[in-house]
Amino acid sequence: MTVSAPDRNAAGIQAPAHSSTEGIVTDEASLTPIVLKAMAGTTDPRLLEIVTSLVRHAHAFVQETRLTEEEFEKGLDFLVRIGKATGEKTNEAVLLADILGISSMVSLINNHRGDDATASALLGPFWRANAPHCENGDNIARGESATHGIPLAISGRVLDKQGKPIAGAHVDVWHADPIGYYENQDPSQPNMNLRGVFTTDAEGRYSLRSVRPAGYPVPTDGPCGELLRAQNRHPYRPAHVHFMVSAPGYRTLVTQVFADDAEHLNSDVVFAVVQSLVGRFAETTDEKGQRRATLQYDFILEPGEQKFPAPPIP
Ligand SMILES: [Fe+2]
């Protein structure tokens, strides 16, 4: 590119020449500080910190990979298609963050403080607000598809960090059916199948009955599926049960408990398996040959704010 002659205004008077090279790019090394300086007036200090870091890392990424213009265009097109593939029933942007491990990293830095409180895990896209309130011991397998699974009894306690029981805590449970589908993605299941909210008793105990969930693939019909195939990765999550445990005065815990014998336990496509969240799904076979499973899992809440997320998909 050639440097143009100094601008002339409408009257044809020559504008003064630049007196400084400030803000003028000379080579790739000069660009990043110029961009950062242009953003330095950002009013919100946290926004300034985040975008500054983003620009620094993005520039370094382009330099490190020596990104070609064709690759840059392809990348932008990929992001546009992520947006276009996101709608009322799917969130491809969340899925992209998940399969790149970014969602798990955000969860880890915000929720794992190395103390005794139960670790958090991703909310996932299938939580529904207003699941039915149940009595302890109730069965949340409400439909035909679910009843063909291996019966699963789940029980445990909700405790504070000193080990004292928290009475009246809500344990909101949801999971996929034995084929791997959630109720809100499978029209053949009854409304609110495999979902329920249980309330702990005076000893902090909760209990429920259900059927063993199966692992399942994340959606692969969009750009994220293309990426997984290009990376020779399988799309599966290991079998797990979602929990949201809440009580006034305690930080709401959103987590998942993974079956210790699940396929893909060591290669969760969204990297959500944390060692402490692997639960023992103990199986027995009765005299009639019927397999039965139990999961015993205690939740430890930390003091904080009881608040609930917005449902990912209404
Ligand atoms: Fe899930």
Band of residue 310 on the pLDDT scale cut at 50, 70, 90:
confident
The mean pLDDT of 298-313, rounded to a whole number, is 88
Please give the residue that has the higher pLDDT: either 158 or 8: 158
For 47, other C-beta atoms within 10 Å of its C-beta total: 11
Do the domain assignments include residue 296?
yes
> Ligand 1 center to residue 39 CA distance, Å?
40
The structural domain count of the chain equals: 1
Specify the pLDDT at position 5: 46
Rounded Cα distance, 55 and 73, in Å: 18
The predicted-structure confidence for 165-175, as pLDDT tens digits, reads as follows 999 999 999 99
How confident is the model at residue 144, as a pLDDT?
Answer: 66
Band (pLDDT 50/70/90 cuts) for residue 2 is very low
Distance 175 CA to ligand 1 centre (A): 6
Q: What integer pLDDT is reported at residue 51 of this predicted model?
A: 98
Q: Is the dihedral of CA 73, 79, 84, 85 positive or negative?
A: positive
C-alpha 213 – ligand 1 centre gap (Å):
9
pLDDT digits 0-9 by tens, 87-104: 877 789 999 999 999 999
Distance, CA 200 to ligand 1 centroid (Å)?
Answer: 23
Instruction: Tell me how far the alpha carbon of residue 112 lies from the centroid of ligand 1, in angstroms.
Output: 20
User: 103 CA distance to ligand 1 centroid (A)?
Assistant: 14
Take residue 172 and report the two structure tokens written for it. 């909101």
Tell me the C-alpha distance between 187 and 265, whole Å.
28
* Residues contacting 292, CB < 8 A, separation 6+: 150, 151, 152, 153, 283, 284, 285, 286
Per-residue DSSP letter, 14: B
Residue 12 has pLDDT above 60, yes or no: no
**What is residue 292's predicted lDDT score, i.e. its pLDDT?**
94
CA-closest candidate to residue 174, choices 163, 166, 183, 185: 183
The residue among 311 and 211 whose pLDDT is bigger is: 211
Q: Which CATH number covers residue 204?
A: 2.60.130.10
- Cα(first)–Cα(last) distance of the chain, in Å? 52
- Give a yes or no: residue 140 inside a domain: yes
Q: What is the mean pLDDT of residues 118-136?
A: 92
What is the phi/psi pair of residue 109, to 5°?
-75, -20
* Cα 74 to averaged position of ligand 1 atoms, centre (Å): 31
Q: Is 61 contained in some domain?
A: no
Give the H/E segment covering residue 295. strand 291-296
CA of 198 to the centre of ligand 1 (A): 19
Provide mean pLDDT across the span 244-254: 95
284 lies in some domain:
yes
The percent of residues in the chain predicted with pLDDT above 70, rounded, is 91
CA 16 to centroid of ligand 1, rounded, Å: 64
Q: What is the pLDDT of residues 131-175, one digit of tens each?
A: 999 999 999 998 765 568 899 999 999 999 999 999 999 999 999
CA of 29 from ligand 1 middle (Å) equals: 45
- What is the DSSP annotation of 227-294? HHHHTT---EE--EEEEEEE-TTBPPEEEEEEETT-TTGGG-TT----GGGEE-EEEEE-TTS-EEEE
The CA 176 to ligand 1 mean position distance, Å, reads 7
Instruction: Note the pLDDT of residue 87.
Output: 83
Other CB atoms within 10 Å distance of the CB of residue 79: 12
> Is residue 122 in some structural domain?
yes
* Average confidence score pLDDT of the chain: 91
Task: Judge whether residue 24 has pLDDT over 90.
Answer: yes
Residue 162 lies in a domain: yes
The whole-number average pLDDT for the span 229-234 is 98
Q: How many angstroms is it from 216 CA to the middle of ligand 1?
A: 8
> What is the extent of the structural domain holding 235?
116-301
The answer to the question of residue 58 being in a domain is no
Q: Residue 87 domain-assigned? A: no
Separation of 235 CA from ligand 1 center, angstroms?
13
Q: Is 216 exposed, middle or buried (0-12, 13-18, 19+ CB in 10 A)?
A: buried
